[in-house]
């Protein structure tokens, strides 16, 4: 299995940060997948997914659009029966090097990423290139699970209980818990008994390499009063080493976990490089197929039973609107015939993080780029699933807590802290900072002086934002990007900014604990360019900094919101059926009605599992 992988990782000089590597794989920070890359793809990919022929019209029981975390699960579970399934994916198979966790940031510069950008927003993203935030989304077999940071978080019990209280029966934590269990092969050492299972398709494990700095972070959090927890277990509030969706130290993507094991099923047809352009809907408002483009030619696939959209929080709503399902006025303006008037894309929540909270220490306890360049570490990864290449792009720990700004009466976190044993400076500005589009001016002022020092960062993530945005079509051309409006920090009362500042204060308090002071931890006090007019460390300074260097963590939800018919924002019901159109469902993170206390990859697997059961219950 690892022959092609060994070929890649033993290419001389095997130094990821050398100029040779950059020259070979980069052109203006864009990794090129040339013919040599394609020749070293997984052997089974070349045989198992190579049957790409399809007649101009074919018929299946179900058509699933999108092979990401939800779509891969739906395709897997439906083909456990005699149902025939066509799985359409616009991207292609990734090369095996995507399985190396530490390289996660690099793949955002490749064709595996849609490379979407948010529309420019007033008084926001002031320190990002062109004042536009990068919104990465996976464009490959396996979807975003091919390029994400593999952080495994289910979410808080109250997240799902609130879904049910909003009018979505069957979505309480008690209801969805079994689907989390069903998917996972959970091998984390410190876990709450009764909350996990082994034997599932999705690998979950501890990261096999930890720097000394993460131990300091975890201990300091406890010294500051935050308990150590299994955040996927009994209680979420507290600190923990990160749980990773990996197996033997390698990425456990949706493709690797749910598609690779079933590649020989006769009732499953997978077509890559196949772009769905619209759902076919008859005069009785019944979805009966999908039009898609492959190899420069349009094809039609017919569905005897249902079409399931699992194209993600951006592309599922885009496809609905291209098919005539969306806001009446918006579709009429674009000249798209209206099939069903629904608020598709009109609400979109996201998790954002602040990039400018940096601390130095006086010892080499943090990530070291030179360690990654040692050839022996590739052998450790391949042969034993160990070593520094197993780290999730530098993420080593998480902490969930409730700030003083929260007005929620229950013990419900409003912030997550993501500990990184390094920062934008670790790779000397080559990749990490470019994934966030940090300008040269800001990088050179704040991070470049740290390149030869020991420094770490915490990324505070606002888990329940008050602000929300929307997406809309640019035109009726299916090959035009949608327009993404984040509308960050626009909530009345400036609550989102205040919550961020409260989180910054908590991190500063933790940095003063003995576990950190043992290493002389100090806040980096270089002001963000553009904020020098504010007194450093004042609330006004931090708000200015937030408006300069804040970025998404790729967790957009609610663009095809799930809710009861009485909910004017709802697009699908609790069975994920699109209102007003028969035989059409949406099963991905776009249906999540409110922001959740999680990274959305694992909830997407859960949604896929539950969707498959809902579909089976109706058609078996």
Q: Which domains does the chain have, with CATH numbers?
A: 1-124+132-345+367-392+465-505+556-620 (3.50.50.60)
State the pLDDT at residue 117: 97
User: Residue 370 — very low, low, confident or very high, per pLDDT cuts 50/70/90?
Assistant: low
Residue 13 reports pLDDT greater than 50? no
User: Residue 22 — very low, low, confident or very high, per pLDDT cuts 50/70/90?
Assistant: very low
Q: How far apart are the first and last CA of the chain?
A: 37
Q: What is the mean pLDDT of the chain?
A: 91
Structural contact between residues 206 and 359, judged by C-beta atoms closer than 8 angstroms: no
State the pLDDT at residue 57: 59
CA distance 510 to 590: 36
Annotated binding residues for FAD? 144
Q: Known catalytic residue: 599?
A: yes
CA distance 395 to 244: 10
State the pLDDT at residue 58: 87
User: Residue 32 — very low, low, confident or very high, per pLDDT cuts 50/70/90?
Assistant: very low
The mean pLDDT of 97-110, rounded to a whole number, is 91
User: Catalytic: which of 196, 243, 555, 574?
Assistant: 555
Tokens standing for residue 296: 């420069």
Q: Known catalytic residue: 555?
A: yes
Percent of the chain whose predicted confidence (pLDDT) is above 90? 85
Alpha helices in 13-152 (DSSP H): 19-25, 35-39, 43-48, 69-78
Residue 485 reports pLDDT greater than 90? yes
Whether a cis peptide bond, with omega within 30° of 0, leads into 78 is: no
Residue 321 reports pLDDT greater than 50? yes
Residue 48 reports pLDDT greater than 60? no
Residue 127 reports pLDDT greater than 80? yes
CA distance 100 to 379: 12
Give the closest residue to 322 by CA, choosing from 284, 272, 275.
275
pLDDT digits (tens, 9 = 90+) for 56-94: 558 999 999 999 999 999 999 999 999 999 999 999 998
Structural contact between residues 409 and 228, judged by C-beta atoms closer than 8 angstroms: no
User: Catalytic: which of 299, 425, 574, 599?
Assistant: 599
State the pLDDT at residue 385: 86
State the pLDDT at residue 182: 98
Predicted TM-score (pTM) of the model is: 0.92
State the pLDDT at residue 380: 85
CA distance 318 to 211: 42
State the pLDDT at residue 383: 78
Kindly give the pairing relationship between strand 238-241 and strand 395-401.
Answer: antiparallel
Question: In which element (H, E) is residue 341 found?
Answer: strand 340-341
Give the closest residue to 556 by CA, choosing from 129, 137, 273.
137
pLDDT digits (tens, 9 = 90+) for 385-429: 888 899 998 999 999 999 999 999 899 999 999 999 999 999 999
Chain centroid offset of residue 472 CA: 21
In 3-state terms, what secondary structure has residue 470?
strand
């Amino acid at each position: 299995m690892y022959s092609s992988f060994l070929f890649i990782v033993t290419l001389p000089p095997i130094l990821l940060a050398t100029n040779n590597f950059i020259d070979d794989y980069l052109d203006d920070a864009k990794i090129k997948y040339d013919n040599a890359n394609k020749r070293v793809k997984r052997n089974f990919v070349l045989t198992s997914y190579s049957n790409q022929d399809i007649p101009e019209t074919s018929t299946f029981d179900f058509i699933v659009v999108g092979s990401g975390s939800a779509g891969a699960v739906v395709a897997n579970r439906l083909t456990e029966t005699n149902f025939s399934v066509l799985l359409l994916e616009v991207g292609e198979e990734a090369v095996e090097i995507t399985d190396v966790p530490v390289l996660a940031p690099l793949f955002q510069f490749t064709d595996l990423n849609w490379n979407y950008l948010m529309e420019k927003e007033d008084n926001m993203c002031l320190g990002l290139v062109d004042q536009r935030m990068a919104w990465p989304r996976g464009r490959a077999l396996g979807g975003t699970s091919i390029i994400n940071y593999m952080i495994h978080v289910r979410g808080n019990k109250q997240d799902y209980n609130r879904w049910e209280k909003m009018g979505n029966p069957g979505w309480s934590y008690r209801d969805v818990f079994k689907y989390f269990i069903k998917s996972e092969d959970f091998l984390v050492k410190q876990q709450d008994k009764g909350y996990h299972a082994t034997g599932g398709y999705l690998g979950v494990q501890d990261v096999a390499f930890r720097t000394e700095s993460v131990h300091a972070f975890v201990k300091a959090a406890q010294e500051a009063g935050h308990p150590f927890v299994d955040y996927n277990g009994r209680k979420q509030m507290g600190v923990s080493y990160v749980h990773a969706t990996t197996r033997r130290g390698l990425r456990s993507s949706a493709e690797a976990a749910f598609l690779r094991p079933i590649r020989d099923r006769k009732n499953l047809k997978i077509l890559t490089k196949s772009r769905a352009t619209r759902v076919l809907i008859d005069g009785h408002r019944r979805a009966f197929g999908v039009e898609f483009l492959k190899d420069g030619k349009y094809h039609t696939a017919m569905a005897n039973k249902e079409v399931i959209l699992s194209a993600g929080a951006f592309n599922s709503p885009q496809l609905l609107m291209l098919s005539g399902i969306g806001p009446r006025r918006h579709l009429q303006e674009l000249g798209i015939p209206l099939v069903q008037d629904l608020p598709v894309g009109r609400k979109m929540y996201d998790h954002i993080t602040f990039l400018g909270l940096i601390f130095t220490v006086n010892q080499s306890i943090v990530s070291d780029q030179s360690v990654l360049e040692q050839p022996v570490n590739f052998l450790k990864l391949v042969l034993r699933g160990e070593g520094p290449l197993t780290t999730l792009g530098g993420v080593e720990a998480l902490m969930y807590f409730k700030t003083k700004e929260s007005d929620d009466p229950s013990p419900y976190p409003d912030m997550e802290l993501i500990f990184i044993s390094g920062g934008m400076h670790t790779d000397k500005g080559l990749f990490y900072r470019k994934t966030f589009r940090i300008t040269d001016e800001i990088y050179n002022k704040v991070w470049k002086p740290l390149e030869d020092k020991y420094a770490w960062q915490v990324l505070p993530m606002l888990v329940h934002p008050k602000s929300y945005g929307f997406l809309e079509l640019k035109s009726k051309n299916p090959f035009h990007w949608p327009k993404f409006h984040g509308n960050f920090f626009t909530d009345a009362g400036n609550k989102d900014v205040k919550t961020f500042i409260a989180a910054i204060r908590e991190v500063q308090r933790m940095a003063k604990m003995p576990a950190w002071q043992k290493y002389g931890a100090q806040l980096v006090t270089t002001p963000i360019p553009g904020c020098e007019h504010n007194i450093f460390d004042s609330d006004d300074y931090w708000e200015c900094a937030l408006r300069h260097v804040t970025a998404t963590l790729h967790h957009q939800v609610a663009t095809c919101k799930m809710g009861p018919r009485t909910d004017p924002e709802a697009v699908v019901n609790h069975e994920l059926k699109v209102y007003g159109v028969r035989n059409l469902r949406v099963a991905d993170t776009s249906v999540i009605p409110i922001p959740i206390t999680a990274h959305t990859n694992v909830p997407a697997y859960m949604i896929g599992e539950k969707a498959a059961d809902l579909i089976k219950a109706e058609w078996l």
